A and B are shown apart, each in its own frame.
Chain A
């Protein structure tokens, strides 16, 4: 059974803080993804990675960065949190060459 875990279910941060969201998968998946989900907008891809130390911008990368130092771990970094980054953040992973993705439980981030 695929397992994707995220470091926090709920997080409250202040404007301007640096925020780290961690994601770990235990299926040796090559691909990892970070999305945010907002009402009425659906899931939007922030960044993704096909391999260790590799990263690609998604559709909305502004204000975010990522790090993938180990195959099983993909971190999302908000360099200076802003209120418009209040959202549900979802991490996903998949095997290389396979489209179906498996999601972690999500982190609901509130920036005040």
Chain B
């Protein structure tokens, strides 16, 4: 079993739609959780951290379910510029991070 698993997609959604991605992780001792965004042929960029209480940043909402060991990202009112690959990231030992292989989102007009 992979340490971090994501549906690769692609998720094809129209502008204005709401879309959600899930990610599961295997290490129950993980303490830090993130979503990164990666545009085609560019580096990953930190989108948001994921806290136990959940957190929201504009149109983006992240949730953590420790009991079921999954993380979710909800994007409301999708924009064309949201088209990218979204990486689920969990900490491993100490400051090391484990990256999922990403979920591709394509928003169409």
Nearest CB of B to A42, in Å: 4
Which chain A residues border B102 with CB–CB below 8 Å?
42
For chain B, the count of residues having a C-beta within 8 Å of the partner chain is 19
Report the number of A-B residue pairs with Cβ-Cβ less than 8 Å: 44
A106 touches B101 (CB 8 A): no
Which chain B residues border A105 with CB–CB below 8 Å?
42-43
Question: Which of B18-59 touch A at CB < 8 Å?
Answer: 31-32, 34, 41-46, 49
For chain A, the count of residues having a C-beta within 8 Å of the partner chain is 23
Interface residues of B (CB under 8 A from A): 31-32, 34, 41-46, 49, 87, 91, 95-97, 99-102
* A/B interface sample: 8 pairs, CB < 8 A: A31-B95, A41-B101, A43-B87, A43-B99, A99-B31, A105-B42, A105-B43, A106-B42
